Amino acid sequence: MNKLFYQPVNLRKVILATVLIFLGLFGLLYGPTYLGIFSVALTSYLAFILVFGVPLTNHLFSKPIRPIKISLIYFPLNWVVSLVAGFILTYLLGWQLQGNLVTDHPSLLLIFTLPIMLLGEELFSLFFLSIFSSRFSLTVSSILSAIIFGLIHFSTYYNGNSFETLVHICLIQGSARLIFNQAAIKSNSLWTSWVVHVLFDFSSIVISILPQLFN
């Protein structure tokens, strides 16, 4: 996967690919459910092919290096960072954070649809990480992709206060994206960051529904 970094890119193709990706995002947010499940994954994958071509794009799915070890590091790390950030915003600042209505009240169908949607988020974020790396260092590129990743969650976590929501998504979702990016970079594969992302989201769902099971 790391062969995608620092590649020269064609600006016109980048613009077209970015428009394509955001059409997929529009389909997720405003299209029918059956379309939204696949739209971001499909358009992000096509965007990679448009900018980098098929051979380089295939490196996204390389056999990961030390996937278990890396997953066991970054999965709990993401939980620690999320809990600390949530504690600061909720208990120290006293903000009322908006939860994710989809994962807080999951349906059985989510077991099958969520991994596909998270694959879309990985492709989306790693596309911008790869694009930015053509101009900036990998650290700066990761931060920029994390900001974009956080911003696309604005409507999901909007609590009625734009400033609080921006801080929330940049601190919690943005930090998570930095961790997912590192998992992908360290393992040289999208698959590791996807696994960490899936584990985190499903564990969040389990924790959210546990109180309901005992009521």
> Any idea which of 51-55, 152-156, 185-189 has the lowest mean pLDDT?
152-156
d(CA 120, CA 21): 10
CA dist., res. 170 & res. 186, Å (int): 23
pLDDT at position 105 is 65
The DSSP output letter for 137 is -
pLDDT tens for 58-78 read: 999 999 999 999 999 999 999
Specify the pLDDT at position 186.
97
- Measured between alpha carbons, how far is 59 from 65 in angstroms, rounded to an integer? 13
- The sign of the torsion formed by the CA atoms of 106, 108, 114, 115 equals positive
What is the per-residue pLDDT across 12-35, written as a single tens digit (0 to 9) for each?
A: 999 999 999 999 999 998 888 888
pLDDT digit string (tens) for 156-197?
899 999 999 999 999 999 999 999 999 999 999 999 999 999
Give pLDDT, residue 103. Answer: 63
